[in-house]
Chain A
């Protein structure tokens, strides 16, 4: 069965890049521009994995995860946070405490590596 990925990203170039790559890798891809739009799409699209980029403030992140966990249908949604800036170990711990699978620095991952990483997560 085709795995579904929701990409929450506001940069059109990056959105296009990941969408192309992930579709080539056989995923179904949906996109959202912001956290609120992302939450809507989670309910409708029921993704197997969410790549969350746009939400940066810790309070907003907390709100995002609280809302996902509030609904029985969405509470098991798996989320990876994409970061623009270098990630510290503290960020890692924070992200995982919030309920994210992982936090990845975008510049460290070529689309190829990102796709591999996603496959690995979905096989778990």
Chain B
């Protein structure tokens, strides 16, 4: 062992060593560097670094003036110090105090391994320097001292400064490694995702372009990464509005709202358009500054194709069904009218039954057609100025024969005050009323139906009240859903397609109104809907 005096530390050497350690983020490099750095800073000559691994201190690196035999290292790697069996060490960690053993003996401490280490490393005198960050023990510097040299207070405080810096550097390197591994995990998840993910920095440059995005758009990453989204991503929504490209950037799209979701087309490498379901979200830092934009998209071409085929089928089928049904209805009517000669009363009765069946089929086909038109966005609302009271009176007188055939009354309860003409689509209003009043008549066996109109604030409320069979509570929430049918065991023949109320709700909402129902089983139902009397700015218009 060298017998040189431990020099008074030079503040510049200490400063340089500490600064060097702080700059090392690689954990392995840092572990090698700490003992060497301690030597450079404070002149110690035989230094071992132990690191905490799951509650045990394990040898990690060293700085030695003269090398140790191989078998010493082997023995060293097996000697772990358990923190919970070393109250003295634990206390040193808690208080960050340096332990100085002037004559360490193999009986040092309660942990037998501590004694074995003394036996193995043979320190004439020993310094134990805990490395800790906050309350967490990170490691231990074991310094073999020359007993002849004096340890000044100044040296001890310099050693403390070094220990604090080494601890901070170790913690940083650990956090860096953890962050790197986390980001590696996230990165590999992003690469495995079936959805395309593109990250855009606040300067609009693309910083991430995952494998799924590449597969959909075919652009090689070098043509996308680090370029501005408006230069390389050409995205339009389904109405042709530009979301990215030219002057528009996705970051502008979400600048105000923070989020965008909708269907869009993205131009791929060979100029073909990929139909996607797009989601764009602004990312904010913990300080609430805009930190970028994330764009997530899923290829929906296949779904669209399937959906288009399905809708085309429904549209075509319902369209094509009408022609033969009209012919059947016409010929049956001609038999009843006597155009084919006189038929006996039973024939007439049966033909009338067949006629009713055809009428029902035609109504079902019409419902299907309406739904497919709604789904294709082919239904438009064309508001006109309408005298609502007389319009409803006309509707009621048209529906009166149907009510009378079932022995029911159909009344109109006019509003208490005059209602000026309102802007409403008369065709849609008729469809809604025919459906709701038709249902009321269909499901009422005695009594009748009252239609009431009243003005409330900026809307008109039309309600259709019947004395019918009513609706069970469990059915109420589902009533306006597509294809939902209330199970009525006693009136199976009255089943429809389950589309009527869905159509009614959709049309009412397209006109800016609401629909609701109050009902009790056996006590009748009241369906009400509202029509805004002030023109709704952005009515859904299509075609």
Contact = CB atoms under 8 A, between A and B. Distances in A.
Main secondary structure of the interface of B (DSSP, over half): helix
A24 interface: yes
A20 B334 contact: yes
A112 B463 CA distance: 36
B337 A17 contact: no
Interface string A19-33: 011001000000000
A89 B327 CA distance: 25
A2 interface: no
A90 B333 contact: no
A20 B330 CA distance: 11
Contact of B426 (A85, A89, A111): A89
B329 interface: yes
Contact of A85 (B319, B324, B337, B384): B319
A21 B334 CA distance: 8
A11 interface: yes
Interface in B382-427: 382, 384, 426-427
A89 B431 CA distance: 12
B193 to A, nearest CB: 45
Interface in B314-337: 319, 322-327, 329-331, 333-334, 337
Given A24-B339, A84-B323, A111-B330, 4 more contacts: A18-B330, A20-B339, A86-B366, A111-B337
B333 A111 contact: yes
Given A21-B339, A88-B382, A89-B382, A14 B333 contact: no
A17 B366 contact: no
Interface residues of A, number: 19
16 contacts: A11-B323, A13-B327, A14-B323, A14-B326, A20-B334, A21-B334, A84-B322, A85-B319, A85-B322, A85-B369, A86-B366, A89-B382, A90-B382, A107-B322, A110-B337, A111-B330
Interface residues of B, number: 21
Interface of A: 11, 13-14, 17-18, 20-21, 24, 84-86, 88-90, 106-107, 110-112
By secondary structure, the A interface counts as helix
Contacts of A86: 366, 369
A111 B338 CA distance: 12
Nearest to B358: A107
B327 A17 contact: yes
Contacts of B327: 11, 13-14, 17
Given A107-B362, A111-B330, A111-B334, A88 B324 contact: no
Contacts of B319: 84-85
A18 B327 CA distance: 9
Contact of B329 (A20, A21, A107): A107
A90 B381 CA distance: 10
Contact of A112 (B322, B337, B366): B337
